[in-house]
Structures are given as structure tokens and as C-alpha cells.
Amino acid sequence: MSVFFEVIENKEAAFLLFNTALEWHASRGMEAMDGPINFGENDNNWGLLVEGFMQQGFGMPYHKKYYRSFFEDYGFQNYFEQFSYHRDVRGTDKKIVQFPERIMKIAEWLSRRPGYSFQHFEFRNQRKYVKDIVEIYNSAWSVFKEDFTPLDPAFLEESLEKAKLVIDEKLIWLAYFNDKPIAFFVLFPDLNQILKHFKGKMHFWNLIRFVYFKATHEMNRMRAVAGGVHPTYQNSGVESAIFLQLYKVFGTKPWYKELELSWVGDFNPKMIAIYEALGAKKAKTHITYRYMINTKLPFGRYKDEMSGKQEFKQE
């Protein structure tokens, strides 16, 4: 089922759409269907918004509140939840908000260790950084999702080129150990803060307005659109060290006021712990639902499936 599910506030109409999807899946031998999902990227336009009906960051889906009851009344069950965390970068006094002392100490300690180095993205070396990001991303995400779609370097290069007008190179950081890429975080300025002024129209006048809004720093919120740590280096503190680099950047760019860390699945307690240790608060929840076509099969939540697989591997 695609993320692009839209329906009026009418249960009969919603169930008609669900029935059509169900028949399509069943006719192809599927035993369950999930939704809403994105058939492309794993980090954008995924899940149904159920908490935090605020202005969404670019790439995060927004739905009417009544959608949830339609999904659940039809028989969809909560397969996994995706949390978005928010953190103020600056206070009302416009001063930068310090990261927790413990995080800063860990970050500074690891940053000084031999072998570790940190680089921000540069378009002039785009191919190298794309290759490094893809290597980390695919190694990290393949652990969590069986239906994981490996990131294609060509797709990432194309996406970066399309977003070139928006990207701030110093908001994309990679960590290396002995020159091996081990972690990255990608933050984008929130394009929705500009697009909301255009009412869905991108004509010549709005292109001029786009340049103006960008130059006057209308985009003062950032969203962490992707990130990953190579499994070998998880829990090493390298995540904190990358945020230390970003913290230094925030100090030189006073227009950035808010950071959204999204999304992190309820099946990823390590990343949730990192976000909370950074002082971020959960602000939004999206749900990915599963409908059991074959009712003879038991329904299980994704994090329970993950836990069972990890226990099996340990044995």
C-alpha cells in the first residue's frame, strides 16, 4: 500500500479503497499488507501521523486525524511506531542551547582519540561522500528491516543534485576511523517553511520569492533526514562526536533555531536513547500498520520479531 492514501471523512469510501488494495495483494499470493509506506526511500513519507498534528517537516507525511480510525476499524494493527524528536537549538534569548554535559564530554574524548576524523559534505567531492554514506547506510539499516531497500549511489547523487539549492554542506557530517567511513548524519533545512508560502504553485514569481526566502533564512528549522552508524561502531560514542561537530556549526549560523530528529522506530532503542540523551523530546508519532490477509498466521509487532531473531542468533 502506498503512502499516498487520501480519502474524505467517509468510512465507506475508505473501506472501498482498502478492499481494492486487499484484493490486489491477495490475488498475488500476499499474506499481509503494510501501510502507509514509501516504495522508495526508507526515511521519507512513511507511516500514518497519529500524534503531533503540527506543521510537518519536508518529507514527513501529514494526515487527517480521522484516518487512524479508518485503518484500525478495518482491521489494521500497529506493526511499529516511528517517533520524531524535537530539540531547540536556540532559546528565546537567541543563545545556543548547550548539549548535555555528559554528551559533550564523551564527544570531546572520542574526537581526540587516534584514528578518528570528521568531515562535512562538499559537492566538489560529492562522489566520494555519496559512496561513503551508502556504505554506512546499507550496513546499518539492513540489520533492522527485512524489506529494507538498499540505497543506490546513483539515486542519492540525483537526490543531492535536486536538493542542491537547499542543502547546507555543513549540516551533513561523516565520521571515519582510520579513513574507513563509520557514521553519518544528514540534516536538511526544512523546505516546507518556504513552500507553505506558495500554495502549491511554483511559477516564475515564486521562484524569485524562493531565492528571497532562502537568503533571509526563512528556513530556521532543520530535519535529520538520514543517519547511520556501522554496526561495529555502535555504542562507541561516535554519534555524540558527530553532534559535537554540528553543535559547532550551529554556533556559526545563528538563524537555525530548531532541530527535528526523525524518524526513529520503536524497534531501535539505541537511537531513541541517543536522541533523549541529547535533550530532545518526542513530539510526533507515526504508525506503520499491518493487515493480516492470511488470518491463520499470527500477528506480531516488528520489534518483537527483531528481538526473536536476535535471540536466535545469540544461541
Average pLDDT value over all residues in the chain? 90
Domains and CATH numbers, the chain: 11-85+287-314 (no CATH), 90-256 (3.40.630.30)
Beta-carbon contacts of 94 under 8 Å, excluding residues fewer than 6 positions away, are 254
Share of the chain above pLDDT 90, in %: 73
Residue 145 clears pLDDT 70, i.e. is over it: no
- C-alpha cell recorded at residue 103: 554528551
pTM flag (> 0.75):
yes
**171-229 pLDDT tens trace:** 999 999 999 999 999 999 999 999 999 988 989 999 999 999 999 999 999 999 888 89
pLDDT of res. 55:
86
Distances from the Cα of 96 to the Cαs of 93, 252, 305, in angstroms? 9, 10, 41
**30-39 pLDDT tens trace:** 999 999 988 7
Give 166-172's long-range contacts (Cβ < 8 A, gap of 24+): 166/191, 166/214, 166/219, 167/121, 168/253, 169/120, 169/121, 169/122, 169/123, 170/120, 170/249, 170/253, 171/120, 171/222, 171/246, 171/249, 172/120, 172/121, 172/129
